[in-house]
């Protein structure tokens, strides 16, 4: 397999650098996958507060040039682009070795894609993460690494007894219903995506134990918000809104009663930054990151709210359940709240309207609408 990334159209127009030119007086934050949805929002927040940021990305996902142009125009000299693939350890090591901290967000993001090409999914998510850790270890410096993991490491949660309501599934267990799934839930990797992210998750935690590297993990639920190029395979909240605003049908896999705790991206970014800033006390820690019980909604409930926003009910089509789909997942965020003082501050209805306003301002159609399976 060749590790040389293909330079996408638009890179030269954006004035991208093949390597970052950064003043040695200040070390930059490095964000792998920083052209993506969460990464670009995180980069914006960091640079707005005076940090230099290197976005390390292969730009393989259609449409992320928009995010890069936005960051470049807004932040100018603080923004640096390294066109690189996390599978290429040799290429990215010099950049990571100079980092103040690393937010590792690059990855293959879709369960469906992992089912089609498990080998590529492994190379990107598992080996790519190991490469990031080895680049840090090889630097000889204790560079913090914050890793974007997923709730899929808990598997389908098939052991949870569920009650089926008119528009949502709910756990029969009252405590679980009240607080959500905690970090003590046993791991149960399911689907190649769950396995590759789970392997990466465990490597990140082990490098804190084995090599005293200051690492930590955030196991994310459903994050949504501006700059999300949602597709049918990943980023469902934005995908639903885009399709509805374009007047196109939305495909629901299953009955639509499955529940997720959705978290607005601004709150997710705050969690990443807070964890990095407190890594000295949080080294080797893992946290579930989501909207929590207050932002737990079913797909059907989101569709109802989209109808209220757009003024018309979206057309819906149904298809078979997808492998490993959880009937219900809500993150228990009490550990983040008590240990770091973090809190989800944006209610899901408010966040959905903010995302709709951003999409309207960007103009439709967005390139993300027809975007196929790709890396973030």
In a domain, 374, yes or no: no
212, 179, 108, 185: which is closest to 330 by C-alpha?
179
CATH number at residue 265: 3.40.50.720
**Residue 130 has what pLDDT?**
98
| Separation CA 61–CA 301 (nearest Å) | 29
40 in Cβ contact with 34 (< 8 Å): yes
**Residue 284 has what pLDDT?**
98
In a domain, 262, yes or no: yes
In a domain, 84, yes or no: no
Residue 137, pLDDT above cutoff 90 = yes
Quickly count: other Cβ atoms within 10 Å of residue 318's Cβ: 11
Pairing state between β 169-171 and 259-264? unpaired
The count of structural domains within the chain is: 1
DSSP lists the bridge partners of residue 285 as 216
State which residues form the domain around 155. 107-369
**Residue 9 has what pLDDT?**
40
Which structure tokens are listed for 72? 């470049």
The mean per-residue pLDDT over the stretch 358-374 comes to 61
| Separation CA 206–CA 214 (nearest Å) | 10
Cis link prior to 365 (omega < 30° from 0)?
A: yes
Residue 264, pLDDT above cutoff 50 = yes
In a domain, 20, yes or no: no
pLDDT, the chain, mean: 91
In a domain, 47, yes or no: no
The mean per-residue pLDDT over the stretch 55-60 comes to 93
Residue 172, pLDDT above cutoff 50 = yes
Phi, psi dihedrals of residue 63, rounded to the nearest 5°: 100, -15
148, 2, 22, 5: which is closest to 81 by C-alpha?
22
Residue 162, pLDDT above cutoff 50 = yes
Residue 11, pLDDT above cutoff 90 = no
Q: What residues act catalytically?
A: 193
Place of tokens 């690494």: 145
Q: How confident is the model at residue 371 (pLDDT cuts 50, 70, 90)?
A: very low
**Residue 185 has what pLDDT?**
97
Residue 19, pLDDT above cutoff 90 = no
Give the whole-number percent of the chain exceeding pLDDT 70. Answer: 90
| Separation CA 274–CA 40 (nearest Å) | 17
Which structure tokens are listed for 158? 């098939």
Within 181-333, residue ranges assigned H as helices are 191-211, 236-245, 265-277, 279-282, 299-310
Place of tokens 């607080």: 179
Tens-digit pLDDT profile for residues 74-132: 999 999 999 999 999 999 999 999 999 999 999 998 899 999 999 999 999 999 999 99
Beta-carbon-side half-sphere exposure of residue 1 (alpha carbons within 13 Å): 9
In a domain, 325, yes or no: yes
In a domain, 179, yes or no: yes
Fill in the DSSP letter of residue 82: E
In a domain, 177, yes or no: yes
226, 223, 229: which is closest to 365 by C-alpha?
229
pTM to 2 decimal places:
0.91
Torsion angle in degrees (nearest 10) through CA of 67, 73, 77, 82: 30
């Amino acid at each position: 397999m060749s590790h040389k990334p293909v330079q996408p159209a638009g890179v030269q127009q954006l004035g991208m650098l093949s390597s970052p030119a950064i003043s040695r007086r200040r070390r930059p934050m490095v964000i792998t996958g920083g052209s993506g949805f969460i990464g670009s929002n995180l980069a914006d927040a960091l640079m707005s507060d005076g940090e230099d940021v290197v976005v390390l990305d292969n730009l393989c996902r259609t449409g992320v040039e928009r995010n890069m142009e936005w960051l470049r125009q807004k932040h100018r000299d603080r923004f640096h682009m390294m066109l690189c693939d996390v599978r290429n350890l040799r290429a990215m090591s010099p950049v990571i070795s100079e980092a103040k901290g690393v937010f590792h967000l690059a990855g293959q993001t879709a369960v469906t894609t992992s089912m089609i090409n498990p080998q590529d999914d492994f190379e990107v998510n598992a080996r790519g993460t190991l490469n990031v850790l080895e680049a840090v270890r090889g630097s000889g410096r204790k560079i913090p690494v914050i890793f974007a993991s997923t709730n899929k490491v808990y598997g389908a949660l098939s052991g949870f007894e569920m009650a089926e309501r008119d528009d949502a599934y709910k756990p029969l267990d009252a405590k679980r219903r009240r607080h959500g799934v905690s970090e003590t839930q046993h791991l149960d990797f399911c689907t190649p995506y769950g396995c590759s992210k789970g392997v990466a998750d465990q490597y990140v935690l082990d490098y804190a134990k084995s090599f005293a590297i200051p690492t930590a993990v955030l196991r994310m639920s459903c994050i949504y918000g501006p700059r999300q190029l949602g597709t049918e395979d990943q980023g469902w909240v934005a995908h639903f809104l885009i399709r509805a605003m374009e007047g196109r049908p939305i495909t629901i896999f299953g009955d639509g009663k499955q529940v997720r705790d959705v978290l607005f991206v601004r709150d997710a970014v705050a969690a990443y930054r807070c964890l990095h800033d407190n890594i000295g006390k949080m080294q080797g820690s893992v946290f579930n990151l989501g909207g929590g019980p207050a932002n737990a909604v079913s797909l059907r409930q989101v569709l109802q709210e989209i109808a209220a926003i757009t003024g018309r009910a979206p057309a819906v089509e149904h298809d078979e359940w997808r492998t490993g789909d959880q009937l219900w997942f809500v993150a228990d965020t009490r550990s983040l709240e008590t240990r770091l003082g973090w809190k989800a501050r944006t209610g899901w209805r408010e966040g959905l309207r903010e995302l709709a306003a951003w999409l309207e301002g960007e103009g439709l159609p967005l390139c993300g609408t027809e975007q196929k399976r790709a890396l973030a």
